[in-house]
């Protein structure tokens, strides 16, 4: 998949037949009024998404972002919206193992891809935490933790391409994520611990 | 007290699995059947009057359910409402529409016709003080000094006044080097002989500094969802405090506190901006009532820039007299504070107190004027006042040290507060307030050692390629604890301790730490402790606001008192059942037992059953008189569940509680690009006994980073032509990213208990901010010269222009650049 840039995003919106106005970000709920005149992008289409290893059937708008689908259609509220404009990374999810800002990905573009959100990290059979989650819990990596799901997904995605990063490389790997409690020191320590556990798990 | 096993040790907070799995629910994560969405109509003008609103077109649109205007909200005696008919800043909400979805609500907002009459406006406080300058409000431009309190009466709203300075006030100072003009001030205090102080001084400096405003911008905006059930409002909101937020919600909605159920188990940051909740939460609450359906209000990042609160910017001018050894003999401080459109803010008073505390001047005068502008509302931001004092004062102290040939640590050490340090204005009887304790000298000494100050000093000012290094140090002070709050806990027949916590959950873990103070008194293992928090339907005691670094101090005291009450009741029950007097009994291993005969006793589970049988004060049927009505109501909901410990903190306290953090910074300035890089940073906390080591370090590092951000990058910008906020998104506001700080931050704490509180703990959230701000500004000055800048943040532009021209070139006094 092409890297997500604003340009690609806007192109994608236009390709979907929707306008790239701010209305594109707004949410149209499941209880659409009958007889309503059809605004641009107002028609929902039933699609199938692969989310956290499950095939989910969901009605989406042409201009609906993945963050809104996850949060408001699939009940996966662990993905947070901090800015809705690709600035803060709180909404980061993995798409085919690559971190993406889900606020800036149109849902219809990920139909044939594997989407992983924070809720998909635990072992579905045992309920065991993902090694990265374990590292974050043990080091108490975050404070208010609103940014935590995004940081964890970014870190896991980054570690797939660089499994043994230096502390500085890991900082670069998650530099698309903002934290306002701002103990970046402890965040890095926790993610480093998680990276160690991930290596241990893959060697086991 | 028993030797604390839990207080002082790390633990995994009970909410952490929910957070790490995404199951933790923040305000916007809740759903309700038939939930509507709302969008807001924001004022495009910085000051205007709503003449007419045509709602017909909007109401005719499909899916639109209700429109809320300022007329639907109770009058708050002139204080800020969630909606207004006279917007005082661009971005202020005028009305809100509830519809079946956001797209419909947004379309309806577009269909609203509003007739606005533009009114005079001003965004820079000095422009408002100029002769003939505009007033931000129709009745004036400044807040007068607060009215003296009338015993028994609610505090009167402070009066708005009009003050204009003379041409002479401006021309005398503004021209030469951008010194802050000092016209008529409305607030003033002084102590000591100021002129004598200046006369005996070996060096007198007179400098001005402009401290910027910044939005708080917590990661979670102030989204909220509300519905009504059986006449009660259920509000899912994002607030720093839980028990202490209810009264505000009730007032904003015009209902009684008993009809409010606030649910907030998790808050995505606040930093002061959600201290007692957000006035905007009245919008979904009252729209829900009007539409007779649940309403979700999602606040966007841009909207958060308007209604999300900001720090008060402050311009300060200080004339300071120094002896040769660096001792400060006299301090004459003049502050112009920008309170924004609402307020009034009190940061200027805290700044004056802080300056008097950390520099301990022999004589001091404080004067201030508190200006109203048509800019977004301010509220306390992490270290409100003391942080601004650090910005205004630190550069002067650094400059004095350079001129006197003194070490930067030495000049701060000789002026440092110690023990029961005196501070602030004189009382009517001439005495002044004092701290409970201060160990700033010890903190400076510890930092010199840990930071290897002498080695860094040897290389500071050296140039390597295009890079010059510099080092800085600063002391950040802040009030760190209140007194007089309540606790409720029950030991139940299952043998567990249930602690009701009314503290908000911002991730500082003070919401849980207070229960560890209680568990220590009762020698209860942590796995047998349940903390109940985050929902005012769950019987929470009267609790301090989770603001101003007060929670850890206030609530460890209250819970210590409650646990002592429970312990006494255990001893009394044992004496009743097993003979002897209560004092013959001790506790341990979850039992109360006869001293010297551990076999003779009751398990906590047995004692809990006995407490229920005995009733009366043992299980909460009878309550102490001195506890707050909120606590009495909550305790009544827990009656008969077990042995109840319930008490008000009445422990004595000599002095007011302050914490101190010393920041040490090393920077590199690239003289070719102007880029400042923070190379290393250490904070040393004089914050009392350490309660939760890992969280304490997180507070030290996180608070430091907020201060560092203010020195290096963070700001907001308002267009002077149209009065509109330009910094509406993160990339405009420039908060610190993970790449802006060294990938190792150092923090340590003295762990010296405060003598005036039973657990020994003081608060920590605020003081690292001023320390970070001051230390980094000082390090930059050390690298490129003490006169290179007089405002923050010190951007590459400021650095380059100063270096190129050999003097500072930036706008000296203008606000919101």
Q: Which residue has the tokens 């041409």?
A: B167
Model confidence at A23: pLDDT above 50 = no
Q: Could you read off the pLDDT of B642-678 as tens digits, one per residue?
A: 999 999 999 999 999 999 999 999 999 999 999 999 9
CA atoms within 13 A on the CB side of B417: 30
Burial (Cβ within 10 Å: 0-12, 13-18, ≥19) of residue A55: exposed
Q: What is the pLDDT of residue A204?
A: 61
Model confidence at A18: pLDDT above 80 = no
What domains can you pick out in chain A, each with its CATH number?
A: 6-29+45-120 (3.10.20.30), 131-203 (1.10.150.120)
Q: Which residue has the tokens 């009057």?
A: B49
- Among B298, B301, B743, the residue with its CB nearest the CB of A167 is B743
CA B244 to CA B513: how far, in whole Å?
Answer: 18
**Residue A124 and residue A53 in contact, taking contact as beta carbons nearer than 8 Å:** yes
Quote the percentage of chain A above a pLDDT of 90. 76
Q: Could you read off the pLDDT of B722-733 as tens digits, one per residue?
A: 999 999 999 999
The CA–CA distances, whole Å, from B187 to B123, B144, B650 equal: 22, 8, 34
Q: What is the pLDDT of residue B572?
A: 98
CA A13 to CA A63: how far, in whole Å?
Answer: 6
Reference B486, options B628, B379, B618, B380; nearest CA is B628
Model confidence at B377: pLDDT above 70 = yes
Residue B676 makes CB contacts below 8 A (sequence gap 6+) with: B667, B668, B669, B670, B712, B780, B794, B796, B799
Reference B459, options B675, B741, B782; nearest CA is B782
Residue, of A95 and B178, whose pLDDT is higher = A95
Q: Could you read off the pLDDT of B538-595 as tens digits, one per residue?
A: 999 999 999 999 999 999 999 999 999 999 999 999 999 999 999 999 999 999 999 9
Asked if the Cβ–Cβ distance from B743 to A148 is below 8 Å, we say no
CA B705 to CA A179: how far, in whole Å?
Answer: 11
The stretches of B682-764 forming alpha helices (DSSP H) are: 693-712, 730-733
Q: Of A115, A185, A190, which to mutate for an interface test with B (greatest number of B Cβ within 10 Å)?
A: A185
Q: Considering only alpha carbons, which residue of chain A is nearest residue B110?
A: A23
CA B643 to CA B562: how far, in whole Å?
Answer: 11
- Cα B54 to its chain centre, rounded Å, is 40
The partner residues of A49 in beta bridges, in order of sequence, read: A56
Q: Which residue has the tokens 């909220």?
A: B224
In this prediction, residues A134-150 reach a mean pLDDT of: 97
The partner residues of B367 in beta bridges, in order of sequence, read: B188, B334
CA atoms within 13 A on the CB side of B119: 23
Asked if the Cβ–Cβ distance from A81 to B218 is below 8 Å, we say no
Model confidence at B15: pLDDT above 80 = yes
Q: Could you read off the pLDDT of B61-73 as tens digits, one per residue?
A: 999 999 999 999 9
Q: Could you read off the pLDDT of B180-233 as tens digits, one per residue?
A: 999 999 999 999 999 999 999 999 999 999 999 999 999 999 999 999 999 999
The pLDDT-based confidence of A9 (bands split at 50, 70, 90) is very low
CA B527 to CA B522: how far, in whole Å?
Answer: 13
What is the pairing mode between strands B658-670 and B467-479? antiparallel
B805: contact with A, CB 8 A cutoff = no
Q: Could you read off the pLDDT of A165-187 as tens digits, one per residue?
A: 999 999 999 999 999 999 999 99
Asked if the Cβ–Cβ distance from B16 to A168 is below 8 Å, we say no
Residue, of A21 and B315, whose pLDDT is higher = B315
Chain B residues within an 8 Å CB radius of A133: 20-21
Q: What is the pLDDT of residue B3?
A: 53
Residue B182 sits at the vertex; the CA angle it makes with B177 and B185, to the nearest 5 degrees, is 160
**Residue B446 and residue B437 in contact, taking contact as beta carbons nearer than 8 Å:** no
Residue A166 makes CB contacts below 8 A (sequence gap 6+) with: none
Chain B residues within an 8 Å CB radius of A77: 22, 25, 28-29
Sign of CA dihedral B267, B270, B273, B275: positive
Reference B169, options B180, B155, B161, B160; nearest CA is B180
β-sheet with B746-749: strand ranges across: B463-464, B467-479, B658-670, B676-686, B746-749
Q: What are phi and psi of B206, to 5 degrees?
A: -135, 105
In this prediction, residues A72-100 reach a mean pLDDT of: 97
> Coil, strand, or helix at residue B780?
helix
- Mean pLDDT, all residues of chain B: 96
Chain A residues within an 8 Å CB radius of B29: 71, 77
B651: contact with A, CB 8 A cutoff = no
Would you give the end-to-end CA distance of chain A in angstroms? Answer: 31
What is the pairing mode between strands B529-533 and B497-501? parallel
Q: What is the pLDDT of residue A8?
A: 52
Q: What is the pLDDT of residue B146?
A: 84
DSSP letter assigned to residue B725? B
Q: What is the pLDDT of residue A203?
A: 72
Q: What is the pLDDT of residue A33?
A: 41
Residue A71 sits at the vertex; the CA angle it makes with B217 and A143, to the nearest 5 degrees, is 40
**Residue B536 and residue B46 in contact, taking contact as beta carbons nearer than 8 Å:** no
Reference B101, options A156, A27, A201; nearest CA is A27
Tokens for B370, please give them.
């508190």
- Among B106, B271, B745, the residue with its CB nearest the CB of A23 is B106
- Among A26, A179, A187, the residue with its CB nearest the CB of B106 is A26
CA B654 to CA B757: how far, in whole Å?
Answer: 9
Burial (Cβ within 10 Å: 0-12, 13-18, ≥19) of residue A172: middle
Would you give the end-to-end CA distance of chain B in angstroms? Answer: 54
What is the pairing mode between strands B36-42 and B295-297? parallel
Residue B55 makes CB contacts below 8 A (sequence gap 6+) with: B67, B112
Cα dihedral B777, B782, B785, B788 in deg (nearest 10): -10
The secondary structure of A155-202 as a DSSP string is: HHHHHHH-SS--HHHHHHHTTT---SS--HHHHHHHHHHHHHHHHHHH
CA B270 to CA B295: how far, in whole Å?
Answer: 23
Model confidence at B97: pLDDT above 80 = yes
Question: A–B: how many Cβ contacts below 8 A?
Answer: 203
Asked if the Cβ–Cβ distance from A144 to B219 is below 8 Å, we say yes
CA B41 to CA B26: how far, in whole Å?
Answer: 25
CA B75 to CA B251: how far, in whole Å?
Answer: 9
In this prediction, residues B170-186 reach a mean pLDDT of: 84
Q: Considering only alpha carbons, which residue of chain A is nearest residue B32?
A: A72
Asked if the Cβ–Cβ distance from B701 to A186 is below 8 Å, we say yes
Q: Considering only alpha carbons, which residue of chain A is nearest residue B17?
A: A137
Model confidence at B158: pLDDT above 80 = yes
Chain A residues within an 8 Å CB radius of B267: 144
Q: Where are the beta strands (DSSP E) in B339-457?
A: 363-371, 422-426, 432-434
Asked if the Cβ–Cβ distance from B701 to A185 is below 8 Å, we say yes
Asked if the Cβ–Cβ distance from A175 to B737 is below 8 Å, we say yes
The count of other CB atoms within 10 Å of the CB of residue B190 is 15
Model confidence at B374: pLDDT above 50 = yes
The CA–CA distances, whole Å, from B532 to B16, B357, B612 equal: 15, 38, 21
Chain B residues within an 8 Å CB radius of A32: 63, 100-101
CA B657 to CA B676: how far, in whole Å?
Answer: 36
Asked if the Cβ–Cβ distance from B701 to A90 is below 8 Å, we say no
Asked if the Cβ–Cβ distance from A183 to B300 is below 8 Å, we say no
CA atoms within 13 A on the CB side of A121: 31
Burial (Cβ within 10 Å: 0-12, 13-18, ≥19) of residue B763: buried
- Cα B464 to its chain centre, rounded Å, is 40
Q: What is the pLDDT of residue A28?
A: 63
Q: What is the pTM of this model?
A: 0.95
What is the pairing mode between strands B432-434 and B328-338? unpaired
Q: What is the pLDDT of residue B149?
A: 80
Model confidence at A2: pLDDT above 60 = no
Query: Burial code of B305-334, b = ≥16 C-beta within 10 A, e = fewer?
Result: bbbbbbbbbbbbbbbbbbbeebbbbbbbbb
Model confidence at A31: pLDDT above 60 = no
The pLDDT-based confidence of A1 (bands split at 50, 70, 90) is very low
CA B809 to CA B794: how far, in whole Å?
Answer: 12
Q: Could you read off the pLDDT of B341-372 as tens digits, one per residue?
A: 999 999 999 999 999 999 999 999 999 999 99
Q: What is the pLDDT of residue B437?
A: 98
- Among A27, A88, A129, the residue with its CB nearest the CB of B219 is A88
The alpha carbon of residue A58 is apart from the nearest alpha carbon of chain B, in Å, by 17
Model confidence at B172: pLDDT above 80 = no
What domains can you pick out in chain B, each with its CATH number?
A: 31-119+222-297 (3.90.1170.50), 314-481+655-805 (3.30.365.10), 484-648 (3.30.365.10)
The count of other CB atoms within 10 Å of the CB of residue B86 is 17
Q: Considering only alpha carbons, which residue of chain A is nearest residue B305?
A: A83
Asked if the Cβ–Cβ distance from A146 to B26 is below 8 Å, we say yes
Q: Could you read off the pLDDT of B426-445 as tens digits, one per residue?
A: 999 989 999 999 999 999 99
Model confidence at B475: pLDDT above 70 = yes
């Amino acid at each position: 998949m092409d890297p997500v840039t604003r340009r690609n995003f806007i192109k994608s919106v236009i390709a979907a037949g929707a306008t790239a106005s701010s209305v594109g970000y707004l949410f149209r709920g499941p209880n659409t009024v009958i007889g309503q005149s059809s605004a641009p992008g107002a028609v929902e289409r039933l699609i199938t998404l692969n989310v956290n290893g499950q095939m989910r059937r969901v009605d989406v708008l042409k201009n609906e972002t993945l963050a809104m689908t996850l949060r408001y259609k699939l009940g996966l509220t662990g993905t947070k919206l901090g800015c809705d404009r690709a600035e803060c990374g709180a909404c980061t999810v993995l798409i085919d193992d690559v971190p993406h800002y889900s606020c800036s990905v149109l849902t219809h573009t990920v139909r044939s891809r594997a989407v992983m959100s924070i809720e998909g990290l635990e072992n579905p059979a045992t309920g065991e935490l993902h090694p990265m989650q374990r590292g974050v819990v043990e080091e108490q990596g975050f404070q208010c933790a609103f940014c935590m799901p995004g940081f964890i997904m970014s870190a896991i995605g980054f570690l797939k391409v660089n499994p043994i990063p230096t502390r500085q490389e890991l900082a670069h790997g998650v530099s698309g994520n903002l934290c306002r409690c701002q103990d970046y020191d402890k965040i890095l320590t926790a993610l480093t611990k998680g990276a160690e556990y991930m290596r241990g798990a893959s060697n086991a | 007290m028993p030797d604390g096993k839990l207080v002082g040790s790390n633990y995994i907070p009970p909410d952490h699995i929910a957070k790490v799995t995404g199951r933790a629910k923040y305000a916007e994560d809740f759903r309700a059947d038939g939930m509507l969405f709302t969008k807001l109509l924001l004022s495009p003008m910085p000051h205007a009057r709503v003449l007419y609103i045509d709602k017909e077109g909007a109401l005719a649109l499909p899916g639109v359910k209700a429109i809320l205007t300022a007329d639907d909200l109770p009058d708050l005696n002139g204080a800020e409402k969630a909606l207004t008919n006279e917007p005082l800043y661009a971005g202020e909400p005028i009305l809100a529409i509830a519809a079946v979805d956001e797209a419909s609500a947004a379309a309806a907002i577009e269909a609203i016709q509003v007739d606005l009459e533009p009114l005079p406006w001003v965004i820079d406080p000095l422009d408002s003080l100029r002769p003939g300058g505009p007033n931000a409000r129709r009745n004036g431009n400044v807040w007068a000094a607060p009215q003296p309190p009338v015993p028994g009466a609610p505090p009167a709203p402070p009066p708005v006044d009009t003050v204009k300075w003379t041409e002479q006030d401006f021309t005398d100072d503004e021209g030469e080097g951008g010194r802050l003009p000092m016209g008529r001030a409305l607030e003033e205090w002084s102590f000591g002989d100021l002129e004598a102080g200046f006369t005996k001084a070996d060096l007198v400096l007179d400098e001005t500094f402009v401290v910027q405003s910044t939005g708080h911008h917590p990661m979670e905006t102030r989204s909220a969802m509300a519905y009504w059930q059986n006449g009660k409002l259920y509000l899912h909101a994002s607030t720093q405090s839980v028990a202490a937020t209810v009264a505000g919600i009730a007032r904003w909605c015009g209902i009684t506190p008993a009809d409010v159920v606030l649910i907030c188990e998790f808050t995505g940051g606040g930093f002061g901006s959600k201290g007692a909740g957000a006035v905007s939460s009245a919008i979904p609450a009252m729209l829900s009532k009007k539409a007779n359906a649940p309403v979700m209000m999602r606040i966007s990042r841009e909207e958060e820039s308007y209604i999300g609160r900001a720090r008060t910017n402050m311009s300060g001018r200080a004339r300071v007299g120094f002896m040769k050894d660096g001792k400060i003999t006299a301090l004459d401080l003049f502050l112009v504070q920008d309170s924004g459109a609402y307020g009034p803010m009190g940061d200027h008073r805290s700044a004056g107190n802080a300056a008097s505390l950390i520099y301990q001047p022999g004589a001091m005068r404080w004067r201030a004027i508190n200006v109203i502008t048509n800019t977004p509302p301010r509220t306390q931001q992490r270290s409100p006042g003391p942080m601004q004092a650090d910005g205004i004062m630190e550069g002067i102290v650094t400059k004095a040290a350079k001129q006197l040939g003194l070490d930067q640590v030495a000049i701060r050490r000789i002026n440092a507060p110690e023990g029961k340090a005196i501070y602030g204005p004189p009382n009517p009887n001439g005495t002044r307030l004092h701290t409970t304790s201060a160990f700033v000298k010890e903190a400076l000494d510890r930092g010199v050692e840990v930071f290897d100050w002498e080695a860094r000093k040897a290389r500071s000012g050296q140039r390597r390629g295009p890079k010059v290094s510099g080092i800085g140090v600063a002391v950040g002070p802040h009030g760190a604890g209140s007194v007089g709050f309540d606790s409720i806990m029950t030991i139940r027949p299952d043998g567990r301790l249930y602690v009701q916590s009314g503290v908000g959950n911002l991730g500082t873990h003070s919401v849980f730490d207070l229960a560890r103070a209680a568990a220590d008194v009762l020698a209860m293992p942590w796995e047998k402790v349940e903390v109940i928090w985050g929902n005012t339907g769950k019987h929470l005691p009267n609790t301090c606001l989770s603001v101003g670094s007060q929670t850890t101090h206030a609530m460890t005291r209250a819970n210590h008192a409650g646990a002592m009450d429970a312990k006494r009741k255990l001893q009394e029950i044992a004496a009743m059942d097993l003979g002897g007097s209560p004092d013959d009994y001790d506790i341990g291993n979850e039992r109360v037992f006869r001293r010297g005969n551990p076999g003779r006793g009751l398990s906590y589970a047995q004692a809990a059953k006995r407490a229920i049988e005995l009733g009366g004060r043992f299980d909460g049927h009878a309550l102490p008189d001195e506890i707050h009505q909120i606590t009495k109501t909550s305790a009544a909901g827990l009656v008969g569940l077990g042995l109840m410990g319930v008490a008000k903190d009445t422990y004595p306290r000599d002095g007011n509680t302050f914490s101190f953090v010393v920041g040490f910074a090393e920077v590199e300035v690239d003289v070719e690009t102007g880029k400042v890089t923070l190379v290393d940073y250490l904070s040393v906390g004089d914050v009392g006994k350490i309660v939760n080591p890992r969280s304490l370090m997180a507070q030290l590092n996180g608070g430091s980073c907020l201060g560092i951000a203010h020195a290096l990058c963070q700001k907001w910008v308002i267009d002077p032509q149209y009065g509109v906020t330009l910094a509406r998104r993160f990339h405009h506001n420039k908060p610190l990213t993970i790449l802006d700080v060294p990938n190792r931050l150092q923090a340590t704490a003295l762990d010296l208990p405060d003598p005036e509180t039973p657990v020994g703990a003081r608060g920590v959230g605020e003081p690292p901010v001023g320390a970070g701000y001051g230390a980094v500004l000082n390090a930059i000055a050390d690298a490129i010269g003490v006169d290179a800048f007089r405002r923050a943040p010190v951007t590459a532009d400021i650095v380059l222009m100063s270096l190129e021209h050999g003097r500072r070139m930036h706008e000296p006094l203008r606000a919101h650049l």
